[in-house]
A = this chain, B = another copy of it.
Amino acid sequence: VIERLSSAETSVADLREDALVARIAHRIGPPPAGERWTGDDAAFVRWRSPGLLLTTDALVEGTDFELRWSSGADIGYKAMAANASDVAAMGGRPLHAVIVLALAPDTRVAVVDGVLDGILEAGAEWKIAVVGGDLSRASALSVCVAMVGEPHDDGIVTRDGARVGDAVCVTGALGGAAGGLMALSQGWAESGPPDAAMRRLTRRQLRPHARVTEARALVALRPSAMIDVSDGLAVDLARVLASSRVGCEIDPALVPVDADLVALARARGDGEVDPLATALTGGEDFELLFTIDPDRVATARAVLGPHDCPVSRIGAITDGRRRIGEHDLEIYEERGWDHFRARPDP
C-alpha cells in the first residue's frame, strides 16, 4: 500500500484513512533522533530547549459538524478542544493557535462571530492565545486550527512506549459524544423533554472537554504511552498497540460507559442503542487512554480525583493478541471513525 498502488485510478476512499496516513508518513520520512514527527497526537521538534509541540486539526461542515445542530460557538470551541487534546495527549501545554476560517460567501457574519466566540472561550479555558489566522473562501464552512505547545519538563509521552504488563487505563467515561451525535442527528434531542441526561450527552458532542490539566498531572507519574480517544477506543488503542508492538487483554466489563448513554439506550429501548459498542467505537470523547506501571494506577486515581476525572483500569498490555473480552480488537476497530469510508447519510 505504501510503496505502490494497483492503479492510477485508486481513490482515497479505496485506500482508507489509516493507510493513507501511513503512506504520507512514509513519504515524510523519519525525524532526526529525539524528535517525533508523524504517527503521534502531535509532532515534537527540538527547537529551543525543551522543544516544541505542533499539531493541526480541522472541522469541516458536513463531515465533522452540521450547522443544523451545531452553533458557530460550538464549532469554534470544538476545533480548539480537538487540538488542545492532541497537545495534552503528548503531556504538553498548549500555548498559541492560528486559525484558517474557510467561509462560503453567503455565510452570515453572525455565524462567524459565533465561531470566534467559541474559539476565544476555549482559548480562555485552556490559556491558549489565539494569535492570528487567515480567511479563505470555500463552498462549506471549515475551521482549521494549528496549535503550538511546550512539552512537560519530564519530556513527551508518545504512543510507542507501552510495555507488557502495563495497566491500560482510560479517563472519564466513553460513548457520550457518539450518543450525543446520535441524539442530534436522529432528532431525539428535540423530541420529548430536554432532560438533564440529554443535555449532557449533546454537550459532550458539541462542547468536548480537552483533558489539558489532567494530562499534565498524569505526566509526572510517567505513563508509558498515551493517546487521546478521538476516533474511538478500539481505533486509538490499536494505534498504541501497533506503535508499541504489543497486544492487550481488555475486559469489556471494566470499560467506563457514559451513564447518560446508558440512560438514552434504556429510553429508546429495543436495542436501538448499544451502549458498550458505542463506548468501544464512538469517537470524539477526547478522554485520555494511557498505559502505566500497574503499581501507579492508584496514584493516578488519587492525582486525577481532584480534577473530577475518574480513572478506569480496563485491562493489561500483553505480548499476545489484541483482545477485547472474547473478541479480537479488529472487530471493533472496523467500526471506528474513518474519514473516507463510505457510510450512510446521517
Contacts and interface: CB of A to CB of B under 8 A. Distances in A.
Interface string A197-210: 00000000000000
Contacts of A54: 96, 98, 131-132, 146, 148
Interface stretch (A59-67, A283-291, A325-333): A59-67
A31 B131 contact: yes
A81 B146 CA distance: 18
A298 interface: no
A180 to B, nearest CB: 20
A323 B9 CA distance: 54
B15 A109 contact: yes
Given A98-B43, A135-B339, A340-B137, A107 B144 contact: no
Interface in A81-138: 95-96, 98-100, 102-110, 112-113, 116, 120, 129-138
A137 B43 contact: no
Contacts of A146: 54, 56, 98, 144, 146
A148 B148 CA distance: 9
Contact of A58 (B10, B136, B139, B340): B136
Contacts of A98: 43, 54-56, 146
B105 A136 contact: no
B135 A20 contact: yes
Interface string A180-214: 00000000000000000000000000000000000
A17 interface: yes
Interface stretch (A44-52, A168-176, A299-307, A313-321): A44-52
A95 B45 CA distance: 10
B105 A57 contact: no
A96 B53 CA distance: 11
Given A45-B129, A54-B148, A96-B54, A60 B102 contact: yes
A56 B144 contact: yes
A253 interface: no
A24 B116 contact: yes
Nearest to A120: B27
A131 B43 contact: yes
B5 A99 contact: no
A312 interface: no
Contact of A105 (B12, B27, B38, B148): B12
Contacts of A105: 11-13, 340, 342
A5 B111 CA distance: 12
Contacts of A116: 24, 27-28
Nearest to A104: B12
Contacts of A242: none
A171 B249 CA distance: 63
A140 interface: yes
Contacts of A167: none
Contact of A8 (B8, B56, B108, B130): B108
A12 B58 contact: no
Contacts of A103: 12, 339-340
10 contacts: A28-B120, A37-B129, A38-B131, A52-B52, A52-B96, A59-B136, A60-B137, A138-B142, A139-B140, A148-B148
Closest 7 CB pairs of A and B: A146-B146, A43-B132, A13-B105, A43-B131, A48-B48, A137-B339, A144-B144
